[in-house]
């Protein structure tokens, strides 16, 4: 009876973890909801000071992070109108669900230019020939502007004739030349890096490192800690199920562990973010939305829970079966023996392995980039696209991960060595206390 009750409680625990995910859209339709509106540009960068209106009512402007919070509208579909200098005004229909984030992306403003405007495009002189953003262009010693982040170009109405054109960018060698400029023409100029390698820019490296540490690292750590906490609960339940004598509990745990471990984590993330809303909407007949951070947490938790289930299974089986027999002989039930005798010993055994799983989880959190979760890799990709240099931000992202994983790896090695020494000392003490067996001689 005790074993059956233990299996029943384990199944109830699993249901309690799953039910909240299905109850998210249950929001009262008659009350005002709190919505966070994120305004982004065509490069998925936050747009500060963007004007925002909802259903024709002016709400205000976004803060430095491109965010504005709305709390005066009821749940349901609403029209959001956003505008900002240099970007086209856009009206997008979004569903308001209490506590959710909604995104509105603005495209670059398309202006009808004067046919006589001259276009200057600045390229990297290296083999990549990539466009350079933020390069200053001077005509006869006067700066006419900086190249943009989309096309690497700047446009200006230059009088026809011979002019001295100079292009400069911090960290690059200046390029100055005299040329005859014709109205409406396009001219391409190149810049050579001031260092040895054109793909590496130290100033961009420090800028990317700062963004990835101050903005992306916090999200990465949050993802990893929350997913690890939930994964521990799932893994412990699945580990108990894998060694359970209850056939149903053992079968459910085995199907879960083998099924999740057999699927790529990227597929699991895409299913949670894109497939799960369709499934729940079809089952309930209502709308179901899930933000990228929550989807990433769910996918990482489910994935790590399957692997930690096997880790706990191995730890439980590593405890000598005589421990269970001794506990049962003292009058403890199966559940009591498992809780007070087996699991404490198993946890010490699997602690180093759980540390390695946490390190792997930190690295796996980078998959959030594919659904625009703004963790470390997302920032490196965004900065690389902005400055037409993907190598340098990715190198900075690698440095961030190494600064996290190497100390954690050393800590895991210390824990593993510590418990290994303790186990060795315990075994030696037990051998010394044991009395030698004397053989009678004739």
- At residue 295, does pLDDT exceed 90? yes
Q: Which helix (H) or strand (E) holds 5?
A: helix 2-22
Structural domain contains residue 153: yes
Q: Are residues 317 and 243 in the same domain?
A: yes
- Alpha-carbon distances of 339 from 229, 232, 236, 431, rounded to whole Å: 19, 16, 11, 28
CB 157 within 8 A of CB 116: yes
Q: Which residue has the tokens 């510590």?
A: 418
- When mean pLDDT is compared across 314-323, 348-357, 378-387, 426-435, the lowest value belongs to 426-435
Q: Are residues 95 and 227 in the same domain?
A: no
The residue from 87, 108, 129 where one domain ends is 108
257 φ, ψ to 5°? Answer: -65, -50
pLDDT reported for residue 28 = 39
Average model confidence (pLDDT) across the chain: 83
Structural domain contains residue 438: no
The residue range of the domain holding 145 is 117-193
Q: Which has more confidence, 12 or 69?
A: 69
Q: Are residues 170 and 96 in the same domain?
A: no
CATH number of the domain encompassing residue 357: 1.10.3720.10
**From CA 262, how far away is CA 348, in angstroms rounded?**
28
- At residue 33, does pLDDT exceed 50? yes
* Degrees, nearest 5: CA angle 264-266-267: 70
Residue 18 confidence class, pLDDT cut points 50, 70, 90: very low
Q: Are residues 408 and 295 in the same domain?
A: yes
pLDDT reported for residue 227 = 95
Chain-centre distance of CA 353, in angstroms? 23
Q: Which has more confidence, 248 or 24?
A: 248
Q: Are residues 218 and 284 in the same domain?
A: yes
User: What digits encode the pLDDT tens for the residues 322-341?
Assistant: 888 898 888 888 888 888 88
Structural domain contains residue 154: yes
Q: Which residue has the tokens 């100079």?
A: 166
- At residue 99, does pLDDT exceed 50? yes
Q: Which helix (H) or strand (E) holds 165?
A: strand 161-168
**From CA 416, how far away is CA 423, in angstroms rounded?**
11
Which own/partner pairs from 141-149 qualify as long-range (CB within 8 Å, at least 24 positions apart)?
A: 141/166, 147/120, 147/121, 147/122, 149/43, 149/386, 149/387
Strand partners, 90: 82
User: What digits encode the pLDDT tens for the residues 182-212?
Assistant: 988 999 999 887 655 557 788 889 999 999 9
- At residue 221, does pLDDT exceed 80? yes
Q: Are residues 296 and 228 in the same domain?
A: yes
The residue from 193, 223, 241 where one domain ends is 193
- DSSP result, 211-280: HIIIIIHHHHHHHHHHHHHHHHHHHHHHHHHHT-S-HHHHHHHHHHHHHHHTS-HHHHHHIIIIIHHHHH
Question: Is residue 66 helix, strand or coil?
Answer: coil
Q: Which helix (H) or strand (E) holds 96?
A: strand 87-96
Are β-strands 172-173 and 186-193 bridged in parallel, bridged antiparallel, or unpaired?
Answer: antiparallel
User: What digits encode the pLDDT tens for the residues 392-407?
Assistant: 999 999 999 999 999 9
**From CA 397, how far away is CA 362, in angstroms rounded?**
13
The number of beta carbons lying within 10 Å of the beta carbon of residue 292 is 20
Q: Are residues 183 and 259 in the same domain?
A: no
Question: Is residue 168 helix, strand or coil?
Answer: strand
Q: Are residues 231 and 300 in the same domain?
A: yes
Residue 286 DSSP class: S
CB 380 within 8 A of CB 396: yes
pLDDT over 90, % of the chain: 38
Q: Are residues 87 and 174 in the same domain?
A: no
Measuring CA to CA, which residue among 20, 35, 23 is closest to residue 80? 35
Q: Which helix (H) or strand (E) holds 202?
A: helix 202-211
The structure tokens listed for 226 are 């929350």
- At residue 435, does pLDDT exceed 60? no
Q: Are residues 215 and 349 in the same domain?
A: yes
Question: Is residue 113 helix, strand or coil?
Answer: coil
pLDDT reported for residue 425 = 56
Are β-strands 51-54 and 76-84 bridged in parallel, bridged antiparallel, or unpaired?
Answer: antiparallel
Q: Are residues 189 and 300 in the same domain?
A: no
pLDDT reported for residue 150 = 67
Q: Which has more confidence, 303 or 442?
A: 303
Q: How many domains does one find in the chain?
A: 3
The residue from 62, 86, 108 where one domain ends is 108
Q: Are residues 177 and 76 in the same domain?
A: no
The structure tokens listed for 271 are 């299913």
- DSSP result, 333-344: -HHHHIIIIIHH
Structural domain contains residue 252: yes
- Alpha-carbon distances of 368 from 130, 373, 376, 396, 423, rounded to whole Å: 27, 5, 9, 18, 40
Structural domain contains residue 411: yes
Structural domain contains residue 442: no
Structural domain contains residue 437: no
Q: What is the CA radius of gyration of the chain?
A: 30
Structural domain contains residue 27: no
- At residue 15, does pLDDT exceed 90? no
pLDDT reported for residue 6 = 52
Residue 24 confidence class, pLDDT cut points 50, 70, 90: very low
CATH number of the domain encompassing residue 75: 2.60.40.1120
- Alpha-carbon distances of 328 from 229, 242, 335, 380, 387, rounded to whole Å: 31, 20, 10, 56, 67
pLDDT reported for residue 305 = 95
* Degrees, nearest 5: CA angle 204-209-215: 120
């Amino acid at each position: 009876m005790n074993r059956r009750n233990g299996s029943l409680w384990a199944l109830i625990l699993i249901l309690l973890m799953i039910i909240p995910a299905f109850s998210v859209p249950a929001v009262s339709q008659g009350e005002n909801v709190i919505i966070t509106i994120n305004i982004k540009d065509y490069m998925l960068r936050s747009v500060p000071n963007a004007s925002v209106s909802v259903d024709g009512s002016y709400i205000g402007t976004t803060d430095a992070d491109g965010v504005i919070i709305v709390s005066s509208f009821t749940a349901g579909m609403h029209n959001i109108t956003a505008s900002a200098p240099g970007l086209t005004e856009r009206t997008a229909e979004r569903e308001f669900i209490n506590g959710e984030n909604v995104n509105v992306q603005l495209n670059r403003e398309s202006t009808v230019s004067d046919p006589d405007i001259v276009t200057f495009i600045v390229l990297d002189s290296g083999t990549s020939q990539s466009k350079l953003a933020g390069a200053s262009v001077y005509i006869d010693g006067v700066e006419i502007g900086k190249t943009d982040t989309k096309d690497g170009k700047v446009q200006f109405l230059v009088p026809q004739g011979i002019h001295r054109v100079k292009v400069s960018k911090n960290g690059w060698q200046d390029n100055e030349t005299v040329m005859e400029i014709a109205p409406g023409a396009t001219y391409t100029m190149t810049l050579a890096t001031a260092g040895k390698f054109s793909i590496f820019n130290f100033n961009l490296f420090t800028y990317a490192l700062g963004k990835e540490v101050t903005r992306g690292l916090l999200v990465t750590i949050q993802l990893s800690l929350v997913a690890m906490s939930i994964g521990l609960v799932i893994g412990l339940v699945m580990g108990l199920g894998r060694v359970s004598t209850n056939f149903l509990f053992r079968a459910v745990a085995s199907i879960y562990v083998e099924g999740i471990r057999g699927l790529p984590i990227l597929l699991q993330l895409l299913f949670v973010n894109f497939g799960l809303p369709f499934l729940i909407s079809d089952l309930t007949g209502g709308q179901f939305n899930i933000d990228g951070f929550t989807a990433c947490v769910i996918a990482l938790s489910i994935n790590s829970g399957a692997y930690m289930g096997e880790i706990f299974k191995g730890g439980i089986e590593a405890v000598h079966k005589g421990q269970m027999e001794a506990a049962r002989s003292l009058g403890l039930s199966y559940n009591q023996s498992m809780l007070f005798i087996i699991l404490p010993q198993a946890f010490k055994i699997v602690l180093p392995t759980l540390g390695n799983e946490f390190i792997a989880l930190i690295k796996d959190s980078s998959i959030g980039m594919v659904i625009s979760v703004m963790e470390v890799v997302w920032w490196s990709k965004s900065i690389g696209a902005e400055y037409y240099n993907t190598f340098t931000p990715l190198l900075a992202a690698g440095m961030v991960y190494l600064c996290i994983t190497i100390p954690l790896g050393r800590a895991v090695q210390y824990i593993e060595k510590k418990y290994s020494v303790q186990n060795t000392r315990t075994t030696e003490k037990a051998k010394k206390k044991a009395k030698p067996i004397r053989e009678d001689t004739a």
